[in-house]
């Protein structure tokens, strides 16, 4: 994995502004600490920071290749999982290769197929190709949106980068937030509308989207999206297909010139990846897999069962580690560290985020990076295969709103009177845009139709929030995390799978359980879903409360937006919050942590409010 950035300007020769380009590059150093490079062609520059995983010598970037009188330059962030097949295809067409890097394959795929190459790439990526003679840039983001690509198009200029900070470091775009940005932060955050960067004049290429920038204009095209098709497989065939697709995705993602490790929570998804990889290693006479889990100091002492978190993870992790013969390591976090890490978590995302759900991952990845550069994780199975409670509770399923944020009451309560009066309307429109844009078949039943809408809501919102979390918090420690469940083939298959097959035996992710039950311990295969672990220790609530009360004493632009009484009510009555801020994990301590992150974000990024 790497970091990329670039700029096209009509106002200056960029070779005279190396400092700006260097500042943009340095802002992405955590994404690529091993190597860096800059390509300049008068008013166009491409920037690359590299984290070396495959073919150190022959994968240097920016990479240049000439063919048929044109020269092409690429900066690329990602991993391509069908590299071998595509390289063989290109060799038959007369292409020669200097090394084994997927960057070279992506570049030559573009040279051969142009924008159509995007449809043929299986991987997680964001890249830019500059055609020197034609003076145009091609930008592309992977089908599912695992890797980020932000951009700003103003006054006939283009600036882009893997992270928002690279665009801001150009100095050409100011850190301004307008009314829509405030709606994103206060009424949708930590999620955000697809394509928006929250800051004014900063946007993001959509998952499955590419664009050309030429003669001062950006033209975008969606090359992949959820498409309804008739499902013709039998339940037995569906089990076999899920088993094949996921196993193939996992095994393809084990390719690396550096050792690979695995996140293991004791849940179904991470256990499937761990056991499949372990079997693969055993078959190929490799060492036992290394696994990591995260926990919080004294957490078991305060753990309480709930609908969303019915069991603790510890016993299941031990069971799975023993079954897969892994070298397992547990990372224990304390609550003081967790609170301190809220600040670098903001810097990782460039925005207020998933608070301690982010900061714990950031600390977890920091520990893993001491020994590994690549890891595999089980994100996104729940969104694709109906893992969340809102898929299974018919009352919630058919409620006409975002299921993870069904009420705006708690969000409204922290805002001063008459501030952002159209917040609820803004959220409502974003919800309607998603469900109304859901592709369906005329033959879909009421349940099938709603399940497609629910899939879209989870895929384009909840899942993207988690993918953003995983990318930023891992890359902040220069750790590459791969996500096999995000293979676009699985996405396509899951979208069209009937609910009665997907929820095999009436269970969340039932089809996945059935597909892998023969390689997992029974208690793992049929364990009730439990979410990412969060702290239950009351000391964390105490720390956050004290920090927020100090924030409320300050005279800042942010405080003019906040209701002191509403926030104090959360501090004094944490157990009376009827619905969480976002999902099952953001309750009173996390709402306070979000305010802490907001305060830090406004101060650190010198955010100006434009109303």
Collapse the DSSP code of 137 into the 3-class scheme (helix H, G, I; strand E, B; otherwise coil) and give the result.
Answer: strand
Catalogue the E-assigned strands of 474-534.
Answer: 480-482
- The token pair at 80 is 């391509």
C-alpha closest to that of 533 among 295, 311, 359: 295
User: CA of 121: how far to CAs of 72, 151, 489, in Å?
Assistant: 18, 22, 11
Which sign, positive or negative, has the C-alpha torsion 503, 505, 507, 511? negative
Rounded distance between C-alpha atoms, residue 71 and residue 57, angstroms: 21
Which conformational region is residue 135 in: left (phi greater than 0), alpha (psi within -120 to 50 degrees), or beta? left
In what helix (H) or strand (E) does residue 525 lie, and over which residues does it extend?
helix 522-525
Q: What share of the chain is helix, strand, coil (3-state, %, to 5)?
A: 45, 20, 40
Selecting among 2, 117, 380, 465, the annotated active-site residue is 2
Rounded distance between C-alpha atoms, residue 430 and residue 439, angstroms: 16
C-alpha closest to that of 191 among 414, 352, 429, 396: 352
State the Rg of the chain over Cα: 24
Rounded distance between C-alpha atoms, residue 211 and residue 128, angstroms: 9
User: CA of 400: how far to CAs of 67, 183, 410, in Å?
Assistant: 54, 20, 18
Rounded distance between C-alpha atoms, residue 369 and residue 347, angstroms: 18
- DSSP state string for 181-223: HHHIIIIITTS--TTB-SSTT-EEPPTTEEEEEETTEEEEEE-
- 380 assigned to active site: no
Classify residue 553 as exposed, middle or buried by CB count within 10 Å of its CB (0-12, 13-18, 19+): exposed
φ/ψ of 544, rounded to 5, equals -65, -40
Collapse the DSSP code of 141 into the 3-class scheme (helix H, G, I; strand E, B; otherwise coil) and give the result.
Answer: strand
| DSSP label at residue 562 | B
72 and 111 Cβ atoms separated by less than 8 Å: yes
Beta-carbon contacts of residue 436 (< 8 Å; ≥ 6 apart): none
141 and 573 Cβ atoms separated by less than 8 Å: no
Rounded distance between C-alpha atoms, residue 118 and residue 142, angstroms: 8
Rounded distance between C-alpha atoms, residue 424 and residue 411, angstroms: 10
Catalogue the E-assigned strands of 53-92.
Answer: 63-67, 70-80
Rounded distance between C-alpha atoms, residue 267 and residue 516, angstroms: 13
Classify residue 193 as exposed, middle or buried by CB count within 10 Å of its CB (0-12, 13-18, 19+): buried
76 and 125 Cβ atoms separated by less than 8 Å: yes
Active site members: 2
């Amino acid at each position: 994995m790497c970091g990329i950035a670039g700029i096209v300007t009509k106002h200056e020769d960029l070779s005279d502004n190396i400092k700006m380009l260097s500042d943009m590059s340095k802002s992405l150093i955590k994404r690529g600490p091993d190597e860096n490079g800059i390509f300049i062609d008068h008013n166009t520059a491409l920037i690359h920071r590299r984290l070396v995983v495959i073919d150190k010598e022959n994968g240097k970037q920016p990479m240049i290749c000439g063919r048929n009188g044109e020269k092409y330059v690429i900066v690329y962030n990602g991993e391509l999982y069908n590299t071998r097949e595509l390289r063989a295809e290109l060799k038959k067409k007369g292409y020669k290769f200097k090394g084994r890097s997927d960057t070279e394959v992506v570049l030559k795929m573009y040279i051969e197929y142009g924008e159509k190459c995007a449809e043929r790439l299986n991987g997680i990526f964001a890249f830019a190709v500059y055609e020197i003679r034609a003076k145009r840039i091609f930008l592309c983001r992977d089908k599912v949106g695992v890797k980020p690509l932000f951009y700003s198009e103003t006054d006939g200029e283009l600036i882009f980068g893997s992270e928002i900070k690279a665009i801001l470091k150009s100095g050409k775009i100011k850190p301004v937030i307008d009314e829509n940005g405030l709606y994103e932060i206060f009424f949708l955050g930590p999620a955000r509308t697809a394509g928006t960067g929250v800051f004014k004049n900063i946007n993001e290429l959509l998952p499955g989207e590419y664009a050309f920038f030429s003669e001062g204009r950006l033209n975008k095209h969606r090359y992949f999206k959820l498409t309804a098709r008739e499902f013709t497989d039998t339940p037995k065939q569906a089990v076999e297909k899920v088993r094949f697709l996921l196993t193939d995705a996992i095994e393809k993602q084990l390719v690396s010139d550096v050792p690979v490790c695995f996140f293991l929570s004791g849940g179904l998804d991470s256990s499937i990846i761990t056991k499949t990889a372990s079997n693969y290693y055993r078959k190929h006479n490799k060492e036992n897999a290394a696994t990591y889990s995260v926990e919080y100091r004294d957490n078991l002492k305060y753990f309480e069962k709930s609908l969303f978190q019915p069991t603790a993870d510890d016993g299941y992790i031990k069971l799975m580690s023993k079954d897969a013969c892994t070298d397992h390591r547990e990372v224990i976090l304390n609550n003081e560290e967790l609170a301190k890490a809220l600040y670098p978590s903001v810097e990782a995302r460039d925005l207020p985020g998933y608070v301690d759900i982010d900061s714990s991952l950031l600390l977890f990845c920091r520990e893993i990076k001491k020994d590994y550069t690549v890891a595999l994780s089980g994100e996104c199975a729940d969104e694709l295969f109906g893992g969340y409670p809102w898929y299974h509770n018919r009352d919630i399923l058919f409620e006409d709103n975002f299921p993870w944020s069904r009420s705006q009451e708690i969000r409204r309560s922290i805002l001063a009177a008459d501030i952002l009066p159209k917040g609820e309307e803004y959220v409502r429109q974003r919800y309607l845009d998603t469900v109304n844009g859901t592709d369906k078949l005329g033959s879909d039943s009421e349940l099938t139709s709603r399940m497609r809408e629910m899939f879209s809501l989870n895929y384009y919102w909840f899942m993207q929030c988690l993918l953003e979390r995983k990318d930023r918090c891992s890359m902040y420690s220069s750790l590459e995390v791969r996500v096999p469940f995000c293979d676009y083939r699985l996405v396509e298959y899951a979208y069209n799978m009937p609910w009665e097959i997907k929820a095999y035996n009436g269970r969340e992710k039932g089809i996945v359980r059935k597909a892998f039950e023969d390689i997992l311990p029974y208690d793992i295969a049929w364990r009730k879903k439990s979410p990412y672990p969060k702290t239950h220790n009351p000391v964390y609530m105490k720390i956050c409360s004290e920090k927020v009360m100090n924030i409320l004493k300050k005279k800042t632009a942010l405080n003019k937006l906040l209701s002191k009484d509403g926030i104090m009510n959360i501090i004094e009555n944490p157990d009376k919050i009827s619905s969480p801020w976002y999902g099952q994990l953001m309750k009173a301590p996390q709402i306070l942590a979000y305010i802490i992150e907001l305060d830090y974000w406004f101060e650190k990024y010198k955010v100006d409010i434009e109303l």
